[in-house]
Amino acid sequence: MKNSYFVKNKLQTITFIILALIPVFVDSYFVNNISFFMIWTFIALSLSLIWGKGGILSFGQAAFFGLAGYSFGIIGINFADVYGVGIWSVIIALIITGLFGLIVGYFLFYGGIYDVFVGIVTLSMTLVFETFMSQTAGPEWTVGIARLNGFNGMQGMPSIGISLFGYNFEALDNKGYYVILILAILVLYFLDKLANSKFGLILSASKEDRLRVQSLGYNVKRVHMLTFAISAVLAGMSGILYTNWGGFITPESMGLVSAALPVVYCAASGKNNFFAVFLGTILLVWISQELAINGRQFALIFMGLLLVVATRYFPDGMFLFFINFTKKMAGKIIGK
């Protein structure tokens, strides 16, 4: 089963192999940096699922990012001495986020909220989180022994990892890179399977014509709610990995910019194609960092130009365009 995915998607497989080999050739800073880029792919993929496949634009991914990150931190700080906390804090945080996604999804879709209204409701939700968390600076804002610490952010949580037979595995630096890469491969595999399943087909179909699919007897609301929950978990993965990477999480992760960025990455890459979004996000975050280093004052201008040009000339997404182009070229070279 797994073999068929990697055989069918040669470009993906080649990319994964290249990514897996990178740490052999570059120094630890570079590896850590690419880990950082990959962290953002999960939240972009979460949007690719709900928006690209489902046709529902959500500005709420940043809220799930923050919720998962803070949950991971709170659990980790409170149970720092309990065995395996580095693993099950992740699992519990994701469960919490998924449940919350389910509740919000229920509120949205069973309440008949669609189109641009989903965007506004989820944006409001995200900003409520941000505003609320920003003022939790006081000592009374503590969950167990973990201080939320408001705007200044929460720190001091243990890393993702586990102690096995005296060997301390921590998902940081090179090991962290492989953990993230493996997670990414698993997620992409899972999303591909999901998209091609009956569930996925109902989702894509209802993007085209929701009422018709509903009238055919499919429970579209349930599908949307579940998809929303899954995308919440994906966004949460980014949140946890980010918190793990920096040892730090702040309400800024749930602000207006943080809410808009994944939308931008997803749209510019080619929201319908999971792999394009994966690669596109890595490249966009990288480009934006390089611009900040080398472009300085003009960094944001170049970034803006890039986005404007992308929508103007590559309406289906820049990286999707390049991927298809690469495939065509490769096909020409190999086939002919």
Partner 1 sequence: MKNIIKLILSSLFAVVVFAGTSQAADPIKLGILEDETGNFSIAVIPKIHAYELAVKELNEKGGVLGRPLEIIHYDTQSDNTRFQEFARRLIKRDKVDVIFGGFSSASRESIRPIMDKNKQLYFYNNQYEGGVCDSNVFVTGAVPEQQFSTLVPWMMEKYGKNVYNIAADYNFGQISAEWVRQIVKENGGTMVGEEFIPLSVSQFSQTIQKIQKAKPDVLMTLLVGAKQASFYEQQAAAGLGIPMATSINVGQAFEHRRFKPPALENMYVTVNYIEEVHEVIKSGKFHDKSKDFVKRFHALYPNETYINMEAANAYNAINLYAKAVEKAGTTDMDKVRRALETGISFDGPSGIVRIDPKSHHGSHTIFLVHVDKGHVVKIPKIWENIEPYWLGEAGCDLSKKDDYSQYTPSNPPSN
Partner 2 sequence: MVLLFNIIFQVTDAISFLLLSAVGLAVIFGMMKIINLAHGEFITVGAYGTVVTAKMGLPLPIAMACGVLVTIIFGFILERLIIRHIYGRPLDSVVATWGISLIVSQSFLIIFGPSTEGLKSPFGSFQVGDYSFSEYRILIIFISFFILVLLYFLFMKSKFGTLARATIEKPITSSALGVDVQKVYTITFCIGAGLAGLTGALYIPTMTAVPSLGQAFIVSAFVTVVTAGASPFVGLVPAAAFLGSFQTGITFFFHATIGLIGLLFAVIMIIRFLPSGFSGLIKRRS
| Contact region with partner 2 (CB under 8 A), list: 22-30, 77-85, 129-137, 147-155 | 129-137
Smaller CB distance to partner 1: residue 101 or 161? 161
How far is residue 60's CA from residue 57's CA, in Å, rounded to a whole number? 9
Binding of partner 2 by 264 (CB under 8 A): yes
User: Do the strands 154-155 and 142-143 form a parallel or antiparallel pair, or are they unpaired?
Assistant: unpaired
Taking a C-beta distance cutoff of 8 angstroms, is the pair 253, 62 a contact? yes
Binding site for partner 1 (CB under 8 A): 27-30, 32-33, 36, 131, 134-135, 137-139, 147, 149-153, 155-156, 245-248, 250, 252, 289, 292-293, 296-297, 299-300
From the list partner 1, partner 2, none, partner contacted by residue 325 (C-beta under 5 to 8 A by kind): none
Tokens representing 136 are 């939790």
Q: Which of 26, 292, 301, 330 binds partner 2 (CB under 8 A)?
A: 301
Q: Which of 311, 325, 326, 331 binds partner 2 (CB under 8 A)?
A: 311
Question: 248 forms bridges with which residues in the sheet?
Answer: 155
Taking a C-beta distance cutoff of 8 angstroms, is the pair 64, 203 a contact? no
Identify the residue whose tokens are 């929701």: 210
Binding of partner 2 by 151 (CB under 8 A): no
Going by the DSSP 8-state scheme, the letter that residue 155 receives in this structure is E
Which of the residues 82 through 121 are near partner 2 (CB under 8 A)? 107, 111-113, 116-117, 119-121
From the list partner 1, partner 2, none, partner contacted by residue 33 (C-beta under 5 to 8 A by kind): partner 1
Handedness of CA 276, 281, 282, 286 (dihedral sign): positive
Taking a C-beta distance cutoff of 8 angstroms, is the pair 151, 168 a contact? no
Q: Where are the beta strands (DSSP E) in 178-312?
A: 248-249
Which residues make up the interface to partner 2 (CB under 8 A)? 51, 57, 107, 111-113, 116-117, 119-121, 123-125, 127-128, 131-132, 135, 256, 260, 263-264, 267-268, 297-301, 303-308, 310-312, 315
